[in-house]
């Protein structure tokens, strides 16, 4: 049976003296003013509290609930400095359609308190007796001076959706006992302007911060979403914590750091250091943070902008040099400046630009044709640039000047199914023997043979039939000529 306090006008009800008052089955406050004095305990056994219709509860003692708290109505009120004490034996819910500030909130149910709305706490949150608070899409806001006590790896603020824990952070360390499926707290210190900091944890890392493809290696599989209430003025030092089980394959804890997603790319740590052990867990720190977004822990391998599979430069004919390269993966890759230096020059100069693919774990093939009739040696390199302006250089490739008009060599059929034919009808070199080599896109040699040639001869490469379908290169060379390379497609159809 529920206890119902219902009046057509506001009726004061004062619960005084050192006593325990029980409301069996639930308490509905439909417009009354209830005052619980400092020496009084009101226990709602086998039920919850429904505070509505301009009802007010002034709690300076202890208000125990076995079930849920529901507050409705824009003028419904809850005040006082006593405990709102959730002590049921299963998950309980706390909701209010109007803004509500709870001075002292205690979770003592061995399970979870699930927030149905945003909740403010002005004095203290106590996660007693294995109790946690689940936020969902709602925020738990600790007003200035409020604290959280009795948290541990089993009792913490569960950020299982977009809801955050908010605390005021100044020049002293403020601890955020947060996590999703596991406990992954954060420590925040703000040497800049005092501000409210919001934080939550997500159980994966996306290649584009909040979207894209989940990362699968070289990282801790957690994202800490940290933001400030007032933009600008903060200078935050952020320390995050994780366990061994959250490290993905290949993660190097000895060379790791905190990365920061900057809207278009991951901003990598400037240095990589060993993580600090904290019991069975580990921590890493990033300092001087002035803008906010997702943060994640990565190792030095994850920060490498590209994994270059190969880079080749070769002359197609007397006027053209072909450049081919491929990446196995890319991180924040804006693109490549293609640079060239002739043997008569002393510096590399940019000759072209090729856009990158940003962040990807797929193989990406690139190519560029350079108009270059230079008869001496030409040197080529790639300058890879990240979105943040950092860059790195590829190995240098050298290409000799023309000696053979590569345009005079024809290969057919293209695509080819079994036998590839090379037409030497316009062969002008004095050599009577040439080396033929078939390579795949990774630069691996699959077929080699030496054949005699003369003008008007046609050479057949029957070994092509055994190749898998795909793209290949035929390299033709002799003692006196530079490599002439032709690309062809092998098909099974």
Residue 178 and residue 190: Cα distance in Å, rounded? Answer: 18
**Which stretch, 76-90, 136-150, 373-387, has highest mean pLDDT?**
136-150
The pLDDT score that the predictor gives to residue 7 is 31
- For residues 394 and 6, the model is more confident at 394
CB 440 within 8 A of CB 455: no
- Mean pLDDT value of segment 289-294: 92
Judged by average pLDDT, the poorest of 55-64, 112-121, 256-265 is: 256-265
- Fold agreement (307-399, 410-490): yes
What's the pLDDT at 21? 55
d(CA 10, CA 6): 9
Length of the chain in terms of residues written: 493
Mean pLDDT of 259-263: 87
Is the distance from CB of 255 to CB of 299 less than 8 angstroms? yes
- CATH topology (fold) of 410-490: Immunoglobulin-like (2.60.40)
Q: Which of 32-36, 245-249, 290-294, 426-430 has the lowest mean pLDDT?
A: 426-430
Query: Across the chain, how many H-helices and E-strands are there?
Result: 1, 46
What pLDDT is recorded for position 160? Answer: 98
What does the domain layout of the chain look like in residue ranges? Answer: 21-299, 307-399, 410-490
Of 137 and 456, which is predicted with more confidence? 137
Q: How does the average pLDDT of the chain come out, rounded? A: 86
pLDDT in tens, 320-367: 999 999 987 788 889 999 999 887 887 889 999 999 998 887 889 999
137-195 pLDDT, tens digit per residue, is 999 999 999 999 999 999 999 999 999 999 999 999 999 999 999 999 999 999 999 99
For residue 130, is pLDDT > 80?
yes
pLDDT classification of 407: cutoffs 50, 70, 90: very low
Which percentage of the chain shows pLDDT scores above 70? 89
3.30.160.100, 2.60.40.10, 1.20.58.220, 3.90.470.20: which CATH number matches 307-399?
2.60.40.10
pLDDT of residue 275: 97
Poorest-pLDDT segment among 100-114, 287-301, 469-483: 469-483
pLDDT at position 431: 61
By the 10 Å C-beta count (0-12 exposed, 13-18 middle, 19+ buried), 405 is classed as middle
* Helix ranges (DSSP H) in 277-431: 300-303
Give the chain's end-to-end CA distance (angstroms, integer).
Answer: 80
What is the distance, to the nearest Å, from the Cα of residue 260 to the centroid of all Cα atoms in its chain? 9
Beta pairing partners, 133: 113, 157
Q: What is the CA radius of gyration of the chain?
A: 35
When pLDDT is averaged across residues 296-324 and rounded to a whole number, the result is: 83
Q: How far apart are CA 335 and CA 329, in angstroms?
A: 13
Spatial contact of 102 and 79, defined as CB atoms under 8 Å apart: no
- Note the pLDDT of residue 15: 46
Distance CA 382, CA 324 (A): 11
Asked if residue 472 lies in contact with residue 440, where contact means CB atoms within 8 angstroms, the answer is yes
pLDDT, tens digit, for every residue of 187-243? 999 999 999 999 999 999 998 889 888 888 889 999 999 999 999 999 999 999 999
Residues 95-104 pLDDT 10s: 998 889 999 9
State the pLDDT at residue 88. Answer: 93
């Amino acid at each position: 049976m529920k206890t119902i306090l219902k009046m057509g006008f506001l009726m004061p009800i004062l619960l005084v003296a050192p006593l325990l008052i029980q409301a069996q089955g639930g308490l509905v406050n439909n417009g009354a003013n209830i005052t619980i004095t400092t020496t009084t305990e009101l226990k709602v056994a086998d039920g919850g509290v429904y505070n509505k219709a301009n009802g007010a509860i002034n709690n300076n003692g202890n208000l125990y609930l076995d079930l849920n708290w529901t507050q409705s109505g824009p003028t419904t009120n809850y005040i006082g400095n006593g405990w709102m004490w959730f002590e049921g034996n299963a998950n309980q819910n706390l909701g209010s359609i109007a803004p509500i500030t709870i001075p002292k909130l205690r979770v003592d149910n061995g399970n979870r308190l699930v927030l149905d709305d945003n909740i403010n706490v002005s004095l203290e949150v106590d996660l007693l007796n294995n109790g946690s608070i689940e936020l969902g899409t709602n925020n738990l806001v600790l007003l200035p001076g409020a604290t959280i006590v009795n948290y541990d790896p089993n009792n913490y603020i569960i950020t299982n959706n977009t809801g955050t824990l908010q605390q005021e952070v100044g020049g002293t360390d403020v601890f955020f006992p947060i996590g999703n499926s596991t406990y992954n707290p954060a420590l925040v210190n703000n040497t800049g302007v005092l501000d409210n900091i919001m934080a939550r944890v997500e159980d994966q890392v996306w290649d584009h911060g909040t979207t894209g493809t989940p990362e699968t290696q070289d990282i801790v599989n957690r994202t800490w979403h940290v933001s400030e209430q007032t933009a600008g003025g903060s200078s935050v030092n952020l320390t995050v914590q994780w366990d061994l089980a959250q490290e993905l394959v290949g993660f190097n804890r000895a060379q790791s750091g905190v990365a920061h997603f900057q809207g278009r790319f991951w901003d990598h740590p400037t240095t990589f250091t060993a993580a600090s052990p904290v019991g069975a867990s580990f921590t890493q720190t990033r300092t001087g943070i002035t803008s906010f977004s997702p943060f994640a822990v990565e190792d030095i391998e994850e920060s490498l902008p590209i994994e270059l599979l190969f880079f080749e430069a070769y002359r197609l004919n007397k006027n053209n040099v072909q450049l081919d390269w491929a990446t196995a993966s890319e991180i924040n890759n804006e693109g490549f400046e293609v640079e060239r230096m002739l043997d008569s020059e002393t510096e590399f100069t940019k000759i072209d630009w090729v856009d990158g693919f940003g962040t990807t774990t797929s193989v990406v093939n690139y190519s560029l044709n350079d108009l270059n009739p230079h008869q001496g040696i030409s040197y080529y390199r790639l300058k890879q640039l990240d979105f943040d302006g950092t860059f790195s250089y590829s190995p240098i490739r050298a290409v000799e000047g023309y000696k053979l008009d590569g345009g005079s060599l024809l290969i057919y059929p293209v695509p080819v199914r079994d036998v590839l034919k090379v037409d030497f009808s316009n062969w002008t070199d004095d050599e009577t023997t040439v080396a033929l080599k078939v390579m795949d896109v990774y630069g691996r040699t699959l077929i080699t043979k030496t054949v005699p040639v003369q003008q008007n001869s046609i050479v057949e490469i029957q070994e092509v039939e055994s190749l898998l379908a795909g793209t290949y290169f035929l390299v033709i060379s002799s003692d006196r000529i530079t490599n002439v390379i032709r690309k062809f497609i092998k098909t099974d159809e």
